[in-house]
Amino acid sequence: MTASRPGAAPADPVGASCPYVGGDPAGPATATAYAEYARMDDLLALQHPQTGAATEPGFIIMSQVMELLFELLRTEFTTCRDRLAADDVDGALWTLRRSARVQQVALSSWDFFSAMTPGEFAEFRDVLGSASGFQSASYRRLEFLLGNKNPGMVEPHRHASSHGPVRRQLSEPSLYDAALALLHRRGLPVPVAVLNRPPEEPYTPDSRVEDAWRTVYADPVRYRDLHLLGEALTDAAESFARWRYTHLAVVQRVLGGKPGTGGTDGVAWLDRISGHRFFPELWSVRSVL
């Protein structure tokens, strides 16, 4: 161990590696390596409140946080889908474990919005104009990736830069498509017609797919990895259902029965979609076990 010079500042063994410690206050006014890597200066320059409302900066920041979480979830679920296509169930399960943590963060993000009173939201609601989370391309791509395909949902992006990515996502196989193809390769009775349907078509539940999952759940020892996969996918679907329901509850609290931004019918529209479940046979099979 090297002794410090008398009067010298003590060595800092973590300053070089910890993003929140260290740095030379007398150095040149340039971005830190941390800020450069994560583009923090760019990120922090993206908030532009249009009113003096105290809660508008938080609304903008938390909306941006939610969008980033959608993008992260899309990345994770895409990785999971691709691992299933490669028969790497263990890798897919590990990815779902990680994505579950991201879903927890997304769910807790509603806490800020629920803390706003109707009066506080009204102070800046008018400047939103036609803006609405309904127009989020990252959210729409996430819905398509998980299997809720609806070609009509591409229309809001027709004149936006997001149109191409949203349209391509609609045409890609979903995560559930990859799971069902895996079951088929394992010799379970998933019909070829289900696997070969056009990927942009809405998924229609099929009793034969339910039978395939029933076989898995009836013998969790023989089909251990598929049983774990079924439960992990159900966890993901349940977390998404909780996210939707919390969205509904927050809007009810802040807006009541008023129309939503962007021309939606607010609570009524959210109430309709909150009943949707991804991976439907994983839910229906529980009634026949």
pLDDT tens digit sequence for 199-243: 999 999 999 999 999 999 999 999 999 999 999 999 999 999 999
pLDDT for the residue numbered 159: 87
Rounded Cα gap, residues 134 and 45, in angstroms? 24
Tokens at residue 34, please? 């941390």
pLDDT at 24 over 90: no
Least confident interval from 3-7, 152-156, 170-174? 3-7
pLDDT band for position 179 (cuts 50, 70, 90) = very high
Cα–Cα dist 106/210, whole Å: 30
CA torsion, ordered 125, 132, 253, 59, to nearest 10 deg = -60
pLDDT band at 131; cut points 50, 70, 90: confident
Query: pLDDT band at residue 9, thresholds of 50, 70 and 90?
Result: very low
Determine whether 175 is exposed, middle or buried from the number of CB atoms within 10 Å of its CB (0-12, 13-18, 19+). buried
